[in-house]
Amino acid sequence: MCGIVGYIGHKDAWPIIVKGLKRLEYRGYDSAGIALVSQEISCYKKIGKVADLEAFAKGKTLAGRVGIGHTRWATHGEPSDRNAHPHLSGDGRLAIVHNGIIENYAPLKEELASRGHVFRSDTDTEVLVHLIADILKEEKTDLLEAVRLALTQVVGAYAIVVADREHPDQLVAARKGSPMVIGIGEEEYFIASDASPIIEYTRNVVYLKDQEIAFINADGMLIKTIHNEVQTPYVQQLEMQLEMLEKAGYDHFMLKEIHEQPRSIRDCMRGRIYPQAGQVQLGGIKEYAEKLRNADRIIIVACGTSWHAGLVGEYLIEEYARVPVGVEYASEFRYRNPIITERDIVIAISQSGETADTMAAIELAKERGATILGICNVVGSSIPRLTHGGVYTHAGPEIGVASTKAFTAQVTVLTLMALYIAQLRGTLPQSKLVELLSSLQDIPVLVEKALQCDGAAKYIASEIKDKTNAIFLGRGIGFPVALEGALKLKEISYIHAEGYPAAEMKHGPIALIDEEMPVVVIATQNSSYEKVISNIQEVKARKGRIIAIVTEGDTAVKALADYVIEIPDADEAFLPLLATIPLQLLSYYTACMRGCNVDQPRNLAKSVTVE
């Protein structure tokens, strides 16, 4: 949830860490802090955003070529100056930044308090730095060993960086369940929760693995496991471009990312479809073709927007590959005793590749013998390493907390997987595969056309911006689109919104409909078209305000709806890739008109790395 930046080298640390924290602010933004290390540790932290920290530190001593920084999404302790990171040990010798949760902090805190430790915050993180300091003193060891021994006593998830006043030329970093990447420069090192703060300085990075600890100083880097086994670092080359992390003239990252979808969908398909031959090639799961061909069932596990993408995948895989599919919330799946066999395929979906509940679901399914495939956007993240195989979405960095291009990229990959499995199982005629893949190849152009609804979305937003509730309705493959549209509206505009299958409206939600209720209906010309028109009539009879997403040229729904947004005509299978676009824009403009922080909505963070 939180963002970590560390630097050790020959440059001033403060500006590097501040810039890095701004790039990671999508991970958490209720408080921020930086500790600089020289002869003493200078620690500055402030509730609010990184800009508030900058203002607070203006005019203060900011010298130091070693430092650690943090931008927080609160888990233990309310957002405040005293709960902001970094946290110091009781003697002020150590400073720590931490992403994750220490589950057994309470008994550790009680034990440390009995030995005279005094705590100044409500956080679990402060307990950890006191524990490290206690071991350092009692065991008379070095910082690396003290961190290692402390982590053997810790239950939970963490990514940490620790600085030491007595050794200002070194940092120790470690991870378990939360991401951490180390950039290797010229006689300098950069530490961060993801690569976005690093790409400006170096493309050479090492992704720490679970339960690995890195000791870093000017002379180099040593990596050990928590069990004291020395590891050989695997240096990778970053593929992202620096300009991907900038707004490129857009007012918000979210709007930029909405408009990047023609490119991101095209990149997702590149080198994977051959329409004239009617073939799909997915190298990351090719090794498991036989498993897919003979699978009894496919289980999709995901959270939030990724779960909605999974529902689209369920429709497509069952329709084309004729395999039973179940879609599970990862957070619920892991706490059940699900029936899983060796003939099951589990597909785990996560934009960040670090979603804690999804990783736990993967571990459970692996224990039961299932084959695990991943769909992920972030190269080098945890989920691709946990799964047997998988497919990257290649959507590029997504900075806006509300997922847009990641959703359509996930849907694109699931579409490819559905057709790939159909190809393996022989459930579609070759002529149908050629037809579908040819149509899919045209989708980026149609998405560009769908983005031209910008003006209509902005006008409708002005009409609903003062509403307090909204309902989204869809049938068939349009139902997950309705769910995703409702989620977008509620998470960035704070209007309460719910998505329903259109036919379920009369089983309860219809009681909510009156002249104040906007009802957004996915009403494109597909196999459910006539039924959806009937549902619209039911809403109109109760004075609901209809906002309809229709196929270009539609006349029947236009005659009934109060507001209409047209999207290009396409095969029903690709409806989610087009109908989602106006819903994203509608949510975006509604949030802007309500004065909401679009890129960083309250209480939310991009990557949910804690349970």
Structural element, H or E, at residue 406: helix 405-425
The neighbouring-strand residues paired with 46 are 32
Q: How far apart are CA 48 and CA 45, in angstroms?
A: 9
Contact 102, 611 (CB under 8 A): no
Which alpha helices (DSSP H) does 465-542 contain, by range? 478-493, 529-540
| Measured CA angle at 159 (ends 154, 161), to 5 deg | 100
Q: Exposed e or buried b for every residue in 556-576, given b needs 16+ CB within 10 A? A: ebeebbebbbbbbebebbbbb
Under DSSP, is residue 355 helix (H, G, I), strand (E, B) or coil?
A: coil
Contact 522, 564 (CB under 8 A): no
Q: Retrieve residue 581's tokens.
A: 């676009």
CA dihedral 42, 47, 50, 51 (to 10 degrees): -100
Is 558 known to be catalytic? Answer: no
Indicate which residue of 49, 109, 490, 606 is catalytic. Answer: 606
Contact 237, 203 (CB under 8 A): yes
Is 58 known to be catalytic? Answer: no
Phi, psi for residue 6 in degrees, rounded to 5: -135, 150
Indicate which residue of 2, 43, 376, 453 is catalytic. Answer: 2
CA dihedral 376, 377, 379, 383 (to 10 degrees): -30
Return the biggest CA–CA distance within the chain: 80
Structural element, H or E, at residue 74: none
The neighbouring-strand residues paired with 347 are 300, 373
Q: How far apart are CA 546 and CA 550, in angstroms?
A: 12
Residues designated as active site: 2, 606
